Amino acid sequence: MTTKDKIISKCRELESLLLEKNQKYGDAALDPMNVFSKANAVTGIKVRIDDKLKRIKNAGLVEDTEDTLQDLAGYFILLMIAKENESHNIQEHIRQRESSSYQSTTSTGENPEWSIEHID
C-alpha cells in the first residue's frame, strides 16, 4: 500500500468516525447545549483538544491512546468548521447591521429633503 493509499484510508476512517459521532451526539460539538457551560463551539472544541493532548502527555503514545489520535484529528476538523461558522456569523451580523442602518432613514416631516438616520 502506497502512502497515498494510506492517507486515503485514514481520511475515510476519520470521515466515518466523525459522521457516526455527529449522528450519535446530535452535532453537540458545533451546537452545544450550554447547560453547564456558556462556551461557544470554538472554545468547547479547544477544551476537548486540550483534554486529549493531556491524555497523550500523561500516558504517552501507546495502544490505549491510539483512539485519542483519531479523536484529535476529528476535533481539529470540527474546529476548522466551527471557526468558519463563527466567521460566517460575524460577517452576517455585520451585513445585517449595515443593512438596518441604511433602512432606518425617516423624514423629519418639516422638510422632506432632510432625514434622520437611526443607527443601532
Domain ranges for the chain? 3-104
Look at 3-7, 38-42, 69-73, 109-113 and tell me which has the smallest mean pLDDT. 109-113
* pLDDT tier, 52 (very low <50, low <70, confident <90, very high otherwise): very high
Rg (CA), the chain: 23
- pLDDT for 84 equals 94
**Cα separation, 97 vs 94, whole angstroms:** 5
- pLDDT for 63 equals 85
User: How far from the centroid of its chain's Cα atoms is residue 74's Cα?
Assistant: 12
Average pLDDT of the residues of the chain:
85
